[in-house]
Amino acid sequence: MSLMALREQLNMLLNSMYIEGLLDQQFQQLQMLQDASSPGFVAEVITLFCEDAERILTELTKLVDQAVVDFQKVDAYVHQLKGSSSSVGAQNVKLACIQFRQFCEENNKVGCLNALNVVKHHYYLLRNKFDTMLQLEQRIQAYDSKQQN
């Protein structure tokens, strides 16, 4: 695929993510922070976010599964995930976390179980698109460096 076609695919992917609410304006901030001196910045942040999110989701799954749920602990993890999704611009995940915290506050176990599923749904959808995004970026950068040689 030509460089132009790759770039177009990436743009279309990003646009769809904004339109569908997967990403918000914060992601644009991240893109603004990437430049020649820090070309892998966005990829690095995305990777850190995904690692963080998956670690938290694993913990949450265990915690919400208990006979007696420790809602404070659950809330603390959801708060963390809300923070990192907010920092990376992961809008749908962030919103799902906000809902989740409501159920924690109400000590509502069923609500929490459902909310966790919603968060997971949005997170994995986003993760999928992030993977595609990073692959496209890598191919684009490889193209660029080939052209320069």
Partner 1 sequence: MAVDAEAQFHVLAVDDSLMDRKLIERLLKTSSSFQVTTVDSGSKALQVLGLKEEHQTSTSALSPQHNEIEVNLVITDYCMPGMTGYDLLKKIKESSSLKDIPVVIMSSENVPSRINRCLEGGAEEFFLKPVQLSDMRRLGPHILKGKHKEQQQLHQEENSNNNNMSNKRKVMDEEILSESTRLRFSSSSLNLI
Least separation in angstroms between residue 98's CB and partner 1 is 11
**Among 53, 97, 55, which Cα is nearest to 78's?**
97
Q: Which of residues 41-80 bind partner 1 (CB under 8 A)?
A: 41, 44-45, 48-49, 52, 79-80
Residue identified by tokens 């644009």 is 28
100 scored as a contact of partner 1 (CB under 8 A): no
Spatial separation of the C-alpha atoms in residues 145 and 19, rounded to whole Å: 31
**Chain-centre distance for alpha carbon 145:** 28
The helix, strand and coil proportions of the chain, stated in percent and rounded to the nearest 5, come to 85, 0, 15
Query: Between residues 7 and 79, which has the closer beta carbon with respect to partner 1?
Result: 79
Answer for which of 38, 58, 61, 128 binds partner 1 (CB under 8 A) is 38
Question: Which residues are at the interface with partner 1 (CB under 8 A)?
Answer: 26, 29-30, 32-33, 35, 38, 41, 44-45, 48-49, 52, 79-80, 82-84, 86-89
